């Protein structure tokens, strides 16, 4: 993969637990831009970063630690997805900001948080007895958890095909009204996000060809 950045190197921490390093190929002394390539680090490629906590400390999101366990944006609500954290190599004369960002205040009502708590408890109960369900992952190692979260595929090309144990997890996001009307994923995107069913991709490609 090729990326543009204004630093000589950086590290990319992906949401699936993978870790990559970049190295400069060509530099410009005037523009200070570098073409970088991402190189896999096999020795230490697994490094799980809490995307929710990283989003929280930017001051743009509120982290719902009681209900959905998701980050909530004042405008977009729960309808955002975090894919990577990029850490840049700083020059010796660069200084960190003098003050940290102001944390985002809670943008949702207590009633919505309570609804989310109930839905979370129901989702855990529904999937706890299922060997490959979300609720059965407590105590798993980080590599196993990453593999489960990003490598598990189940049927989900239509709502009626989604396993009953999966549906409460999908409905959990709907407990928060912020952004729900304007920014909620469409059905295909929502179902693929949770099920990884390749049939959804085939259907989307088929529609593009028509």
Sign of torsion over alpha carbons 114, 117, 121, 126: positive
pLDDT (0 to 100) of residue 86: 87
Mean pLDDT by 10 residues, the chain (210 residues): 54 80 55 42 62 92 94 96 84 70 95 95 78 59 60 75 85 95 92 87 87
Considering the chain, what is the average pLDDT of its residues? 78
Amino acid 130: pLDDT: 62
pLDDT of residue 28: 45
pLDDT at 67: 93
Helices 198-209 and 187-195 meet at what angle, rounded to 10? 150
pLDDT score for 158? 83
The Cα 119–Cα 165 span in angstroms is 12
Q: What is the pLDDT of residue 180?
A: 95
pTM beyond 0.85: the answer is no
Taking the C-alpha atoms of residue 150 and residue 173, their distance in angstroms, rounded to an integer, is 18
pLDDT in tens, 46-96: 567 888 999 999 999 999 999 999 999 999 999 999 988 888 776 666 666
DSSP letter for each residue of 119-136: HHHHHHHHHHTSTTSGGG
**According to the model, what pLDDT value does residue 145 have?**
56
What one-character DSSP code corresponds to residue 153?
Answer: -
Per-residue pLDDT, 197: 87
pLDDT of residue 113: 96
Q: In what order do the strands lie in the sheet with 10-14?
A: 2-5, 34-40, 19-27, 10-14, 84-88
| Helix locations, the chain, DSSP H | 51-57, 110-128, 142-151, 167-172, 180-183, 187-195, 198-209
């Amino acid at each position: 993969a090729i990326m543009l950045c204004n630093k000589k190197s950086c590290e990319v921490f992906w949401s699936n637990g993978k870790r990559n390093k970049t190295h400069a190929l060509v530099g410009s002394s005037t523009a200070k831009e570098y073409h970088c390539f991402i190189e896999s680090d096999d020795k230490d490629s697994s490094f799980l970063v809490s995307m929710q906590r990283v989003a929280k400390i930017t001051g743009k999101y509120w982290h719902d630690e009681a209900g959905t366990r998701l980050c909530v944006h004042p405008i977009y609500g729960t309808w955002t997805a975090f894919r990577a954290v990029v850490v840049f190599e700083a020059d010796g004369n660069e200084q960190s900001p003098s003050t940290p960002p102001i944390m985002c205040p809670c943008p949702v009502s207590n009633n919505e948080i309570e609804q989310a708590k109930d839905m979370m408890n129901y989702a855990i109960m529904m999937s706890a007895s299922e060997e490959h369900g979300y609720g059965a992952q407590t105590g798993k190692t980080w590599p196993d958890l990453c593999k489960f979260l990003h490598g598990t595929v189940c049927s989900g090309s239509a709502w009626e095909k989604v396993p009953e144990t999966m549906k409460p997890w999908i409905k959990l996001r709907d407990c928060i009204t912020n952004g729900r009307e304007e920014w909620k994923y469409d059905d295909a995107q929502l179902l693929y996000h949770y099920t990884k069913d390749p049939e959804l991709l085939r259907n989307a490609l088929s529609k593009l060809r028509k």
